[in-house]
Amino acid sequence: MTRRIVLATRNEHKVHELRQILASVCRDLDLEIASAAQFPDVPEVPETEVTFAGNARLKAEALAAATGLPALADDSGLAVEVLGGCPGVFSARWSGSHAGESATRAERDRANLELLLEQIADVPDAHRGAAFVCAAALGIPGQESVVCEGRVTGRLARSPRGSNGFGYDPVFVPDADPARTLAEFTDAEKNAISHRGNAFRAMEPVLRERLSRDV
Ligand code: ITT
Protein backbone atom coordinates (compact mmCIF):
# COMPACT_ATOMS: atom_id res chain seq x y z
CA MET A 1 0.00 0.00 0.00
CA THR A 2 1.35 3.43 -0.96
CA ARG A 3 2.03 5.66 2.09
CA ARG A 4 1.95 9.43 1.61
CA ILE A 5 4.38 11.50 3.67
CA VAL A 6 5.37 15.17 3.44
CA LEU A 7 8.76 16.82 3.75
CA ALA A 8 8.53 19.80 6.13
CA THR A 9 11.06 22.01 4.36
CA ARG A 10 10.88 24.85 1.86
CA ASN A 11 14.55 24.46 0.92
CA GLU A 12 14.49 22.80 -2.51
CA HIS A 13 18.09 21.61 -2.11
CA LYS A 14 17.10 19.69 1.01
CA VAL A 15 14.06 18.27 -0.81
CA HIS A 16 16.32 17.07 -3.63
CA GLU A 17 18.79 15.40 -1.22
CA LEU A 18 16.06 13.94 1.01
CA ARG A 19 14.26 12.33 -1.93
CA GLN A 20 17.49 10.55 -2.89
CA ILE A 21 18.35 9.57 0.69
CA LEU A 22 14.85 8.25 1.38
CA ALA A 23 14.83 6.37 -1.92
CA SER A 24 17.83 4.36 -0.73
CA VAL A 25 16.82 4.10 2.95
CA CYS A 26 13.21 3.06 2.32
CA ARG A 27 13.47 1.55 -1.16
CA ASP A 28 10.87 -1.12 -0.37
CA LEU A 29 8.38 1.04 1.56
CA ASP A 30 6.30 2.36 -1.37
CA LEU A 31 6.36 5.97 -0.18
CA GLU A 32 4.75 8.84 -2.05
CA ILE A 33 6.76 11.86 -0.94
CA ALA A 34 5.13 15.30 -1.06
CA SER A 35 6.85 18.52 -0.04
CA ALA A 36 5.74 21.61 1.87
CA ALA A 37 5.64 23.55 -1.42
CA GLN A 38 2.55 21.50 -2.33
CA PHE A 39 0.75 23.03 0.69
CA PRO A 40 1.17 26.76 0.01
CA ASP A 41 -1.63 27.72 2.42
CA VAL A 42 0.18 26.22 5.40
CA PRO A 43 2.22 29.06 6.97
CA GLU A 44 5.96 28.61 7.59
CA VAL A 45 6.60 27.87 11.26
CA PRO A 46 8.97 30.28 13.08
CA GLU A 47 12.13 28.49 14.27
CA THR A 48 11.94 29.66 17.88
CA GLU A 49 13.87 26.82 19.51
CA VAL A 50 17.63 27.03 20.18
CA THR A 51 18.55 23.46 19.22
CA PHE A 52 18.44 21.60 15.89
CA ALA A 53 16.27 18.92 17.51
CA GLY A 54 13.82 21.47 18.90
CA ASN A 55 13.39 23.26 15.58
CA ALA A 56 13.10 20.03 13.59
CA ARG A 57 10.36 18.87 15.95
CA LEU A 58 8.50 22.20 15.58
CA LYS A 59 8.57 21.99 11.78
CA ALA A 60 7.49 18.33 11.62
CA GLU A 61 4.67 18.69 14.14
CA ALA A 62 3.28 21.87 12.54
CA LEU A 63 3.07 20.33 9.06
CA ALA A 64 1.72 17.02 10.35
CA ALA A 65 -1.02 18.88 12.23
CA ALA A 66 -1.87 21.04 9.20
CA THR A 67 -1.95 18.23 6.63
CA GLY A 68 -2.88 15.14 8.67
CA LEU A 69 0.09 13.38 7.03
CA PRO A 70 3.28 11.97 8.57
CA ALA A 71 5.80 14.81 8.22
CA LEU A 72 9.58 14.63 8.08
CA ALA A 73 11.57 17.74 8.95
CA ASP A 74 15.27 18.56 8.77
CA ASP A 75 16.90 21.26 10.86
CA SER A 76 20.56 21.57 10.13
CA GLY A 77 23.54 23.85 10.11
CA LEU A 78 27.26 24.35 10.41
CA ALA A 79 29.02 24.29 13.80
CA VAL A 80 32.46 25.94 13.66
CA GLU A 81 34.82 24.96 16.51
CA VAL A 82 36.56 28.31 16.85
CA LEU A 83 33.19 30.09 16.95
CA GLY A 84 31.92 27.90 19.80
CA GLY A 85 29.48 26.01 17.53
CA CYS A 86 28.14 29.01 15.58
CA PRO A 87 26.52 29.66 13.15
CA GLY A 88 24.67 26.55 14.43
CA VAL A 89 20.91 27.03 14.44
CA PHE A 90 21.50 30.50 12.93
CA SER A 91 23.21 29.08 9.82
CA ALA A 92 20.42 30.09 7.42
CA ARG A 93 20.35 33.68 8.73
CA TRP A 94 23.98 34.28 9.81
CA SER A 95 24.31 37.47 7.75
CA GLY A 96 20.89 38.73 8.88
CA SER A 97 17.29 37.54 8.65
CA HIS A 98 16.79 39.35 5.30
CA ALA A 99 13.06 39.25 6.15
CA GLY A 100 11.05 41.19 3.60
CA GLU A 101 14.02 41.41 1.21
CA SER A 102 13.85 39.97 -2.26
CA ALA A 103 17.21 38.18 -1.97
CA THR A 104 17.15 34.67 -3.42
CA ARG A 105 18.28 31.68 -1.36
CA ALA A 106 21.48 31.53 -3.43
CA GLU A 107 22.21 35.19 -2.61
CA ARG A 108 21.55 34.63 1.10
CA ASP A 109 23.73 31.50 1.06
CA ARG A 110 26.56 33.49 -0.56
CA ALA A 111 26.24 36.35 1.96
CA ASN A 112 26.31 33.89 4.89
CA LEU A 113 29.35 32.08 3.50
CA GLU A 114 31.27 35.32 2.79
CA LEU A 115 30.61 36.66 6.27
CA LEU A 116 31.78 33.40 7.86
CA LEU A 117 35.00 33.34 5.79
CA GLU A 118 35.71 36.94 6.76
CA GLN A 119 35.13 36.21 10.46
CA ILE A 120 37.67 33.37 10.48
CA ALA A 121 40.12 34.81 7.95
CA ASP A 122 42.91 35.00 10.57
CA VAL A 123 42.32 31.48 11.95
CA PRO A 124 45.19 29.13 11.02
CA ASP A 125 44.49 25.86 9.20
CA ALA A 126 45.03 23.77 12.34
CA HIS A 127 42.03 25.45 14.01
CA ARG A 128 39.50 25.47 11.18
CA GLY A 129 37.58 22.37 12.28
CA ALA A 130 33.80 22.30 11.83
CA ALA A 131 30.87 19.90 11.59
CA PHE A 132 27.60 19.89 9.70
CA VAL A 133 24.83 18.76 12.04
CA CYS A 134 21.31 17.59 11.11
CA ALA A 135 18.30 16.76 13.26
CA ALA A 136 15.68 14.70 11.44
CA ALA A 137 12.21 14.73 13.01
CA LEU A 138 9.21 12.54 12.24
CA GLY A 139 5.86 13.95 13.29
CA ILE A 140 2.68 11.88 12.96
CA PRO A 141 -0.71 13.22 14.07
CA GLY A 142 -1.63 11.61 17.41
CA GLN A 143 1.82 10.10 18.01
CA GLU A 144 4.86 11.32 19.90
CA SER A 145 7.51 12.77 17.56
CA VAL A 146 10.92 11.13 17.11
CA VAL A 147 14.19 12.95 16.44
CA CYS A 148 17.45 11.41 15.15
CA GLU A 149 20.71 13.31 14.67
CA GLY A 150 23.58 12.96 12.23
CA ARG A 151 26.83 14.83 11.66
CA VAL A 152 29.87 14.98 9.40
CA THR A 153 33.18 16.46 10.52
CA GLY A 154 35.65 18.43 8.44
CA ARG A 155 37.58 21.67 8.03
CA LEU A 156 36.81 25.03 6.46
CA ALA A 157 38.65 26.00 3.28
CA ARG A 158 39.90 29.58 2.79
CA SER A 159 37.88 30.20 -0.37
CA PRO A 160 34.85 28.54 -2.01
CA ARG A 161 35.34 25.67 -4.49
CA GLY A 162 32.78 23.67 -6.49
CA SER A 163 29.23 24.27 -7.70
CA ASN A 164 27.17 21.31 -6.47
CA GLY A 165 25.16 21.33 -3.22
CA PHE A 166 24.16 24.55 -1.44
CA GLY A 167 24.82 26.74 1.60
CA TYR A 168 28.28 26.28 3.09
CA ASP A 169 29.18 23.24 0.92
CA PRO A 170 31.77 25.17 -1.16
CA VAL A 171 33.95 25.77 1.94
CA PHE A 172 33.42 22.48 3.81
CA VAL A 173 36.18 19.90 3.33
CA PRO A 174 35.07 16.61 4.94
CA ASP A 175 37.64 14.59 6.90
CA ALA A 176 36.62 11.57 4.79
CA ASP A 177 38.06 13.16 1.60
CA PRO A 178 40.30 16.15 2.40
CA ALA A 179 41.06 16.87 -1.28
CA ARG A 180 37.57 18.20 -2.10
CA THR A 181 34.88 20.48 -0.72
CA LEU A 182 31.36 19.01 -0.46
CA ALA A 183 30.41 21.21 -3.44
CA GLU A 184 32.87 19.12 -5.47
CA PHE A 185 31.11 15.87 -4.49
CA THR A 186 28.35 14.31 -6.58
CA ASP A 187 24.92 14.15 -4.91
CA ALA A 188 25.34 10.45 -4.18
CA GLU A 189 28.83 10.94 -2.71
CA LYS A 190 27.59 13.75 -0.46
CA ASN A 191 24.53 11.80 0.71
CA ALA A 192 26.72 8.81 1.59
CA ILE A 193 28.68 10.76 4.24
CA SER A 194 26.56 13.82 5.00
CA HIS A 195 24.93 14.89 8.27
CA ARG A 196 21.57 14.63 6.46
CA GLY A 197 22.31 11.15 5.13
CA ASN A 198 23.45 10.01 8.58
CA ALA A 199 20.42 11.49 10.39
CA PHE A 200 17.87 9.95 8.01
CA ARG A 201 19.67 6.61 7.94
CA ALA A 202 19.40 6.63 11.76
CA MET A 203 15.67 7.29 11.30
CA GLU A 204 15.16 4.19 9.13
CA PRO A 205 13.96 1.74 11.83
CA VAL A 206 11.62 4.39 13.26
CA LEU A 207 10.15 5.11 9.83
CA ARG A 208 9.54 1.42 9.21
CA GLU A 209 7.90 0.88 12.58
CA ARG A 210 5.82 4.08 12.67
CA LEU A 211 4.61 4.00 9.08
CA SER A 212 3.47 0.42 9.40
CA ARG A 213 1.69 1.28 12.68
CA ASP A 214 -0.04 4.37 11.19
CA VAL A 215 -2.42 2.58 8.82
P1 ITT B 1 13.77 24.84 6.06
O2 ITT B 1 13.75 25.43 7.45
O3 ITT B 1 12.56 25.19 5.25
O4 ITT B 1 14.04 23.38 6.07
P5 ITT B 1 16.29 26.28 5.79
O6 ITT B 1 17.33 26.35 4.70
O7 ITT B 1 15.88 27.58 6.41
O8 ITT B 1 15.01 25.48 5.23
P9 ITT B 1 17.48 25.43 8.30
O10 ITT B 1 16.76 26.41 9.14
O11 ITT B 1 17.65 24.02 8.78
O12 ITT B 1 16.80 25.27 6.86
O13 ITT B 1 18.91 26.05 7.96
C14 ITT B 1 19.87 25.24 7.36
C15 ITT B 1 21.03 26.10 6.88
O16 ITT B 1 22.26 25.46 7.26
C17 ITT B 1 21.04 26.16 5.36
O18 ITT B 1 20.33 27.29 4.88
C19 ITT B 1 22.53 26.22 5.05
O20 ITT B 1 23.00 27.53 5.22
C21 ITT B 1 23.13 25.35 6.16
N22 ITT B 1 23.19 23.94 5.74
C23 ITT B 1 22.44 22.89 6.24
N24 ITT B 1 22.72 21.76 5.59
C25 ITT B 1 23.65 22.07 4.67
C26 ITT B 1 24.31 21.31 3.68
O27 ITT B 1 24.03 20.03 3.46
N28 ITT B 1 25.20 21.96 2.92
C29 ITT B 1 25.47 23.25 3.10
N30 ITT B 1 24.87 24.04 3.99
C31 ITT B 1 23.95 23.46 4.78
Radius of gyration from C-alpha coordinates of the chain = 17
pLDDT band at 26 (very low <50, low <70, confident <90, very high): confident
pLDDT digits (tens, 9 = 90+) for 37-53: 999 999 989 999 999 99
Residue 8 confidence (pLDDT) above 90: yes
CA of 46 to the centre of ligand 1 (A): 14
From the CB of 196, is ligand 1 less than 6 Å away? yes
Residue in 187, 193, 184 with CA at minimum distance from that of residue 13: 187
Residue 27 is given by DSSP the state T
pLDDT band at 97 (very low <50, low <70, confident <90, very high): confident
Residues in the chain: 215
Question: Hey, which of 7, 14, 18, 152 would you mutate to test ligand 1's pocket, going by the most ligand atoms within 8 Å of its Cβ?
Answer: 14
CA 31 to CA 29: how far, in whole Å?
6
- Bond into 87 cis (ω within 30): yes
pLDDT digits (tens, 9 = 90+) for 78-96: 999 999 999 999 999 999 9
pLDDT number for residue 193: 98
Q: Which atom of ligand 1 is nearest to the CA of 87?
A: 16
Q: Which atom of ligand 1 is nearest to the CA of 182?
A: 28
pLDDT number for residue 99: 62
pLDDT number for residue 124: 97
Residue 98 confidence (pLDDT) above 80: no
Using left for φ > 0, alpha for ψ between -120 and 50, and beta otherwise, residue 90 falls in alpha
Q: What is the percent of the chain where pLDDT is above 70?
A: 97
Residue in 64, 37, 39, 55 with CA at minimum distance from that of residue 142: 64
CA of 142 to the centre of ligand 1 (A): 28
What does each C-alpha distance from 26 to 113, 147, 196, 207, 209 come to in angstroms?
Answer: 33, 17, 15, 8, 12
Summarize the confidence of residues 126-149 as an average pLDDT: 97
pLDDT digits (tens, 9 = 90+) for 142-171: 999 999 999 999 999 999 999 999 999 999
Summarize the confidence of residues 189-203 as an average pLDDT: 98
Domains, the chain, ordered by start: 3-213 (3.90.950.10)
Beta strands in 36-122 (DSSP E): 71-80
Residue 28 confidence (pLDDT) above 90: no
CA 215 to CA 211: how far, in whole Å?
7
